[in-house]
Amino acid sequence: MRVGVVTLGCDKNTVDNEYLAGLLTRQGVECIAVNKPEDNADNTLDAVVITTCAFTEEAREENIGRIVEWAEAKQESARLKRLYLSGCLTQRYADELIREFPEIDGLVGVGQWTQLAAMITADAPERTHPQPDRSVVLVDLKEQLPRAPLDNRPYAYLKISDGCNHQCTFCSIPLMKGRMSSVPREIVLHEARGLIERGAREINIVAQDSGDYGRDRYEDYRLDRLVEDLIALDGDFRVRLLYCYPMGVTERLIELLAGHPKVCNYLDMPLQHLDREVLRRMKRPHSEMHAEELIGRLRERAPEIALRTTFITGFPGETDAAFENLLEGVRRIQFDWLGAFTFSREEGTPSAEMPDQIPDALKQERYERLMIEQQSITEAKLRARVGSVERVLIEAQAEEPENCYAGRSEKEAPEVDGLIFVESEKKLTPGAIVSAQIINSGPYDLFASMK
């Protein structure tokens, strides 16, 4: 049996699909990463599973479009006879999907990897609904699952928890994934060893909030101690922290970010806004009111740290003055990398019913102003690195020229930040870490030559 695996949405879905691939591979199923039906031009797939996202309206539209494409491909194919869905979209909208897409042979919600694997390998397709109780923990990894890579990238994601205990008024994640559940440290460390043994040179820690790790499971074991245990593992690799709210950034974690060679001098800290009144309406954790103080401490202890954040534009009640506060804060803090999205009015969230909703055109205008502001900051940050020598993890050969390779230093996270293009007369292989001198910069990328 040959199964195409489509990953939509966040990198936590990447991990989930590798669990599914691990379970299926154990049963002799061949799993192949695919995206669109064109990837099955040779018509060799027996089944396709799409792991979905439903975080925003834009994400839902993209996911529905992909389901339509594969449903049509199934109707037209002589071999592709099964189509399965999983993930956040199915967790929240199972009935609607079953009603609208008779081509679907089965679906599950979040965290149901073993059930999905059983459905795919069953003799006859069987439809099922995801767990309807939104008040319980839905993604709770209590046993070690096999994990099979769906690509040959020299980095990997390590999911340390899922679900969320925060009460942010704009977020539908708790409606789809339930309360936060930390993965037991023994499972995290065992999985990390496996990733390193299969060649991962960079371990990217992910969760809804990495900084909340352990709070539900241990008395005094938190993210900083987990990182200490990870970097004690054998191997030549580095650890990167993604999605870490300010409350989880302890003094010990700052020490590790500042001084340990296995910990990337990088922190992704999604703040969503910088205006205090907007943050209050968002019900963001109180620690975010003092994020600038934390950033000051981080830069004092780790002057070269690269900081990434994410913001929302057009949250209900975001006045012109509030948005100007956001812009002024961005100019003052000077983040290295910044992502943003316009507010999405999510059904079932408190902010969907708040007064003072912002028109879509104004949300978009503010988004564009924010990103233009950040682009100039990022360009200046990159120009300042010209002349420096940096350790670059090579990921792939660039399309052109022939002697050019794409990679990242510790200052760039995969898939969301820029790249470093390294010219080398010597052939480089993915997974190599090389010293390269930065010789030029662009709006988001750097250009280097072998040192």
3-state SS, residue 397: strand
pLDDT reported for residue 126: 56
Please say if the pLDDT value at position 345 is more than 80.
yes
pLDDT reported for residue 134: 43
Report which of residues 131 and 431 the model is more confident about: 431
pLDDT reported for residue 200: 97
Give me the domains of the chain, ranges plus CATH numbers: 2-121 (3.40.50.12160), 155-383 (3.80.30.20), 389-450 (2.40.50.140)
State the average pLDDT over residues 287-314.
Answer: 95
Say which range, 127-131, 298-302, 365-369, has the weakest mean pLDDT: 127-131
pLDDT reported for residue 399: 85
pLDDT in tens, 125-149: 655 554 444 444 466 777 889 999 9
State the average pLDDT over residues 147-158.
Answer: 96
Report which of residues 442 and 129 the model is more confident about: 442
Beta bridge partners, 159, equal: 206
pLDDT reported for residue 125: 60
Please say if the pLDDT value at position 309 is more than 70.
yes
pLDDT in tens, 24-76: 999 999 999 999 999 999 999 999 999 999 988 999 999 999 999 999 999 99
pLDDT reported for residue 124: 64
Would you state the structure tokens that stand for residue 150, as one six-digit string? Answer: 């769906």
Provide the H-helix boundaries in 5-112. 11-26, 57-76, 88-100
Angle between helices 320-333 and 291-301 (to 10 degrees): 10
CA distance 263 to 267: 10
pLDDT reported for residue 140: 73
Task: For the full predicted model, state whether its pTM sits above 0.75.
Answer: yes
The tally of CA atoms less than 13 A away on the side-chain side of residue 187 is 17
Residues in the chain: 451
Please answer whether residues 341 and 312 qualify as being in contact, where contact means their C-beta atoms are separated by less than 8 angstroms. Answer: yes
List the one residue out of 422, 426, 425, 435 whose CA is nearest residue 396. Answer: 422
What's the whole-number average pLDDT of the chain? 94
State the average pLDDT over residues 364-391.
Answer: 98
